[in-house]
Amino acid sequence: MDRVFGYDALGDFLGSEYVRFTQNAPEDAVFVGPSVSNRFINAGDFKGDDTSTWYGVDFDGNAYEVDPTTGQEIPMGTISGPTQWSDLSYDRDSRQFYAIVSDCPGPTDLYTIDFDARTSTLIGSTTAATCGIGLAISPDGDGYLHDAITDSIYEVDLADGSAVLLGPTGFDANFAQSMDFDQSDGTLYLYAFNADEFDASRPPAELRTVNLITGATTFIGKITGAATSREITAGSSETFGGVIDPPVILDANPESQSVDAGEIASFTYQIACFFGGGGSFPGVVFYEVFSNGTRIVGPVQVASGTLQCDTIPTLAFSVSVPNATSPGEYRVDISAGPSLGDPDFTDAVTVTVTSSVAAGGESNDWLTFSADVWPAAEAPPRRPAVGAYPNPVAYSTTLSFELEQPTDVHLVVHDVLGRAVATLVNGELDTGQHAVEFDASDLPSGIYLVHMVAGGTSQTQRLMVVR
């Protein structure tokens, strides 16, 4: 499950607005803030894993930096080149924003955009897709287009803009569309304006997944809730290293304190998930102590458990300063992340030791006590993910996945033309870890796609056979 932030051109609250929702609960969309842009923002994305700023471009080519926690827009100027941008996606491999534009009907042009310089560069065009309306780039750096006239998905070459048809989506797309990949598992999500559902009582904005072999889409749910969405013209799903909604240390206090060696230093801190508004995060809080830039203590865990993102608890811990600690300033980094020593966010405070005493007694180490445990929360269900090891493979590989409950599983290997070369599982499997051996010794070298459908969701794992 991943968090989605998007621009809704026809929202319930103030017309154009920003919303957020989770991929497993699009019906619980939350209003973030209004848009003050005079024109629809048709294209937008985060810059890789930096989700502190969302970059958007409106119908006239005006660029904006957007705060994803409030929806506040900061104008950046006008991007050179064409207007009426259709969609935007960031490629982590090349560290570039790619964007598409089309007259609909007409060729779909692929560009790169430099937001700092506010320039665009034409890469190439395709006449295969005559109304490119959605663009997404996979974790492997592969581009995909959604065409609103043919209602089809295409694979696009980011080197020259050429496109190859994958197949029809299975619904009637209107002009307002966007799509993006969940970078943790390679699932392509489509934020769809379904013309078949255009009715005042049935908002057309839908969340769908895309089959990367056939182009067919699977309906997940309507994007409704506190913010009933009608046109998600620019949407971005983001992951932080494959972890859901990592916590942010919002505030660690006091920012500075003075103690004598052998005394107690106490801290309070607040935590919230990045976007807030639902979900939970299993992880740890830990501290490290630095003297003159050198770490002398830690990482030391002070809290663990599952944080409910709807709450911002105030927690506390204390440490004893060793008797023999030399006078001076010490930096204490308080961090939160998925595991000990793996911080997602850090806040630093200063402890000034004013005097030292002879070593001895019970306070010769930095000792932690009075550490809190995060409030218990039920973790959201995980999406089954299939892994392959080894990959690349010469002769055989093991495909592994975990099921949280008994589930019908369909595990098939396809070649790049979509032809099934092996059906490995087709039936119900029990809860727990599963490992399936795949013999690739008879296959020629090349790229293959392992496609697993389980629990109503689908996963695709790219497999490379090398001789």
What is the tens place of the pLDDT at every residue in 37-63?
656 788 889 888 777 788 999 878 999
The conformational region for residue 310 under phi > 0 = left, psi -120 to 50 = alpha, else beta, is: alpha
Average pLDDT over residues 182-205: 71
Top pLDDT among 213 and 18 is at 213
Domains delineated in the chain? 3-238 (2.120.10.30), 247-369 (2.60.40.10), 387-465 (2.60.40.3080)
Average pLDDT over residues 135-148: 92
Q: What pTM did the predictor assign?
A: 0.53
- 230 in Cβ contact with 193 (< 8 Å): yes
Average pLDDT over residues 14-22: 69
Q: Provide the sign of the torsion angle of the four alpha carbons 228, 234, 240, 246, taken in this order.
A: negative
Band of residue 242 on the pLDDT scale cut at 50, 70, 90: very low
pLDDT of residue 3: 66
As to burial, measured by CB atoms within 10 angstroms (0-12 exposed, 13-18 middle, 19+ buried), residue 405 is exposed
Rounded CA-CA distance 64/47 in Å is 13
